[in-house]
Amino acid sequence: MDHFEYRDRELFCDDVSVSELAERYGTPLFVYSEKTLVSNLNQILTAFAPADPIVCYSVKANGNLSICRLMGRHGAGFDVTSGGEFYRAQQAGPATAKIAFAGVGKTDAEIKHALENNVFMFDVESEQELLTIGEIAKGMGRKAPVAMRVNPDLPPKTHVKTDTSVKGVKFGLDLETVVDVAKGVVNHPGLDVVGLHMHLGSPILKVEPYKQGCAKALALIKAFRDLGHNIRYLNMGGGFGINYRKDEAKPAAAFAEVILPAVKEAGCQLVLEPGRFIVGNAAVLVSRVLYTKATGGKHYVIQDAAMNDLIRPTLYGSFHRVWPVHPAADVPLTPDVNGDPDDPSPFRAMPNCFNQDVVGPVCESGDFLAKDRPLPALKRGDLVATFSAGAYGMSMASNYNARLRAAEVLVTGGTHRLIRRRETFKDLVACEVDCLT
């Protein structure tokens, strides 16, 4: 569950009115609920408790230092995919937090830095990378802990741009060659093959792919051990889906049901790398309506958030619920959305609503947060909430059209703290060298 609810027809985050936050901090504004963040993490920790899991929060979903710090304080490690994310994880701490490093293109400098800073494991994605890590570690008189990331070659399970376990994607080692690659590094002086890693894709709404992935993992772990590698960890990555519409997502316990038996059979410690499941529904993006207009037979709501703040709708055709912060008395309190993501007409009839496109000021026809959405009439100055905006919202935000990136606020019960200030025009040009003046 999340902690966003309407009280007397006004949206609240925990005990704070969202419109008060918009007044105080301006819009567009990401509003995060601490209670939601912590309870989502705890849901995973509890569901997987029998495997004594190491939960590495996936920094790419949302790398804000305060959010990472909160995760660390509540027992999470970190999953990172660049030196920059490694830096964020280190800044947020605690110093003992375990940092897993994935990604197909780790540079020598990133590898060295990670080794110098006690990386928990490298999720290795190619033979060349494995040998490079081994060489660098050997040169430092170290043995690098590595998990072989395998592409388990499963049927498609999510959006083509974020499915990482179908044949032909750039991630991981092939099922057919991974054992040979592992064979080549038995007794390597710079490598300790400690685990097997797979990340299936994101978001995943069914448990079946995890079941299939685990079955393949068990066979590989046995093969690695037969070679003499001391495999201690099974890292099943992240990918657990959330309720973007209504109730399409599975609870952590449902994934645990298929993953835990495999972990037990493997005699491994479980590592998970959830991002979206923790932070996705822990935030709304609050924006203010600038104008409305009817053109070309369509109705547009032009508000001050745009694709540079939340690129998911235009990049993946993703669905985010959008609803007024103050729904009028004659409209439903929430959009009545059918939870079936395969249903092409997800909306049920809603009184006093008509189809509208919710768009931003960016100069692209692809700049939208919602298309053909039944929404009540909105007017200039109204506040709008785009839900489930916590994951891959701010972390994928840009300055396109020289727009200032939004501010972020963390709500804890009845209090709120700014966790990222709104950018300024000076920030926009801060890195540029104006050499022709």
Of residues 259 through 288, those in contact with ligand LLP by CB under 6 A are 273-277
Contacts of ligand LLP in 293-322 (CB under 6 A)? 312, 316
The closest of 205, 383, 169 to 280, measured between CA atoms, is 205
Interaction mask 323-362, ligand LLP, x per CB under 6 A: ----------------------------------------
Task: Determine, following the binding rule CB under 6 A, whether residue 126 of this chain makes contact with ligand LLP.
Answer: no
Planar angle of CA 274, 278, 279, nearest 5 degrees: 115
Please list the active-site residues: 363
SS3 98: coil
With contact defined as beta carbons under 8 Å apart, do 182 and 195 qualify? no
Closer residue to ligand LLP, CB minimum distance, 16 or 369:
369
Its sign, for the CA torsion 239, 165, 312, 370, is: negative
Is residue 239 a contact point for ligand LLP (CB under 6 A)? yes
Stretch that binds ligand LLP, among 231-239, 285-293, 358-366, 373-381 (CB under 6 A): 231-239
Site string for ligand LLP, 15-54 (x = CB under 6 A): ----------------------------------------
Instruction: Write out the two tokens for 95.
Output: 């110093």
Q: Contact, 154 vs 166, CB < 8 A? A: yes
- C-alpha closest to that of 338 among 348, 324, 353: 348
Give the helix/strand (H/E) hosting 196.
Answer: strand 191-197
**Binding ligand LLP by CB under 6 A: which of 63, 72, 213, 238?**
238
**Using CB under 6 A, which residues numbered 85 to 104 contact ligand LLP?**
102
Stretch near ligand LLP under the rule CB under 6 A, chosen from 238-246, 284-292, 339-347, 372-380: 238-246
Q: Check whether the bond before 53 is cis (ω within 30° of 0).
A: no
Pair of tokens at residue 408? 């972020």
Residues in CB range of 347: below 8 A, 6 or more apart: 335, 336, 337, 338, 373, 374
Q: How far is the CB of 348 from ligand LLP (least distance, A)?
A: 26
- Decide: 225 and 179 in contact? Cβ < 8 Å: no
- Applying the rule CB under 6 A, the residues between 195 and 224 that interact with ligand LLP are 199, 202-203
Residue whose Cβ sits closest to ligand LLP: 238
Site residues, ligand LLP (CB under 6 A): 58, 60-61, 79, 102, 162, 199, 202-203, 237-240, 273-277, 312, 316, 391-392
